[in-house]
Amino acid sequence: MTRPASKPPVAVHLVLPGSVRPWTATGLTVRRGDRVTLLGSGRINWGDGHGGAKYHLWGRVPGGRIFGCTQDTATVVADRSGPLELCVYLGCWADASGTLAVGHDAYGPERGSLDVTVLHWPRDADPVDGLATLPDGMADPALARAERSRLQDPVVPPAGWNYLLDVGPGDIFRHAAADGRPAIEVHCHDDAGVLEKDVDVELTAGTTVEWSWRVETLPGRGPENTPWSHDLLGVSAVLDDGPGARRSSSITWFWSTTLEPEDDTFVCPARAHVEHAAHVPVRRGAAGLGRWRRETRDVWSDHGRFVGPSPARLASLRLVAVSHFGHGTGRAAFRDVVLNTAGRRIQVL
């Protein structure tokens, strides 16, 4: 049973063209702690593909932290008081305040647009209840139902893991258990997410990362080594030379649809602005899907082979799930992620 709010939310409707660079005023002023719901539709075009609100719609209160949608809808709590702003996200973020790392060249009239309804809730209103009792015509009923359902069953990643800002938040990685052990389940449908955990250990010869994974469905349909077919599931190690390092590198080990393990390693252009990112296929095709597989990779050796001389430290480990280039679905589970370095065995998951 739902309880009607004392009064309905304030609603604002906007069209955000892909030609307009960040940021666009909504006309709403919020207070810290206020709740705001975004309901988005439409598409943003890029290259040979396109994406919707759950990847391209972002918001902020200037001076606060930017936030993105985890689906085509989102409900957030304002982290400061001030005017609410929205944008179409194209490129890569340079920081958490909403500065783009790659400028505004990606914006243009051919990019399409997003239609957005913003709901600013009264302090005494519960959005779960309020979304079920919106006045007629205030918002798209299907989007309101979708956001209410999302709020009632939130996807919660495990403690200590956080979504990488560049790719944004998602409802992709869920804390779970497999055979009585902690695990992370992955469901990536027409979306992209990178989950990261800091480890900050010395990188020495013989440093290895181990993990078990059960991949049910590969997200891609063909080779992952082109800019517009880069859908994959994998594990990444991020390396640098410690605090203050100006540039880092990474290795992503992934399960490919068609690429030859190791021989078809390639450099990912998507992260070239922040790190030298090598993508190493470790399995190929349908053989072994649906069953638990154990992997062990020598980080020091692989970095030397595929990237270059190894940095001093292993900064973090990441789980990578991308399916928005081909609009497919990837399903997997990860467990027993372990680092072995300098005689220590570190249980990461």
Q: Are residues 271 and 229 in the same domain?
A: yes
Q: Tell me if 135 sits within 8 A of 27, measured CB to CB.
A: no
217: domain CATH number is 2.60.120
CB 288 within 8 A of CB 249: no
| Domain finish residue from 125, 152, 179 | 152
For residue 275, count CB atoms less than 10 angstroms from its CB and return exposed for 0-12, middle for 13-18, buried for 19 or more: middle
Judgement on whether residues 342 and 211 belong to the same structural domain of the protein: yes
In a domain, 157, yes or no: no
Is 96 a residue whose pLDDT tops 60?
yes
Q: Are residues 129 and 192 in the same domain?
A: no
Between the CA atoms of 270, 272, 273 and 274, what dihedral angle is there, to the nearest 10 degrees? 100
Q: Is residue 340 part of a domain?
A: yes
Asked if 167 and 145 sit in the same domain, the reply is: no
- 274 in any annotated domain: yes
In a domain, 1, yes or no: no
**Cβ atoms of residues 14 and 74 within 8 Å:** no
Q: Within a domain: residue 217?
A: yes
Residues 187 and 333 in one domain: yes
- The model's confidence at residue 102, banded by pLDDT at 50, 70 and 90, is confident
| CATH number assigned to the domain comprising residue 87 | 2.60.120.430
Residues 26, 148: one domain?
A: yes
Residue 4 domain-assigned (yes or no): no
pLDDT tens sequence across 274-284:
568 899 999 99
- 118 plus 220 within the same structural domain: no
φ, ψ of residue 344 to 5 degrees: the values are -105, 145
Q: What is the count of structural domains for the chain? A: 2
Give the mean model confidence (pLDDT) for residues 241-267: 89
Q: Which of 4-18, 106-120, 204-218 has the lowest mean pLDDT?
A: 4-18
Write the pLDDT tens digit of every residue in 300-316: 999 999 999 989 999 99
Over the chain, what is the mean pLDDT? 92
Pair (168, 221) in one structural domain: yes
Domain-embedded: residue 2: no
Domain assignment present for residue 93? The answer is yes
For residues 318 and 205, membership in a common domain is answered with: yes
Question: What pLDDT was estimated at residue 5?
Answer: 46
pTM given for the model:
0.90
For the segment 20-58, what is each residue's pLDDT rounded down to a tens digit? 999 999 999 999 999 999 999 999 998 767 889 999 999
- In a shared domain, residues 199 and 279: yes
pLDDT > 70: percent of the chain: 95
SS3 of residue 55 by DSSP: helix
> ∠ CA 298-300-302 to the nearest 5 degrees?
65
Report the pLDDT value the prediction gives residue 273, as an integer from 0 to 100: 52
Q: Are residues 238 and 319 in the same domain?
A: yes
| End residue of a domain, out of 152, 187, 204 | 152
Q: Which two tokens stand for residue 219?
A: 């997200």
Query: In the prediction, which pLDDT does 300 show?
Result: 94
User: Do residues 65 and 125 both lie within one domain?
Assistant: yes
Domain of residue 191, residue span: 162-347
Domain boundary among 126, 152, 178: 152
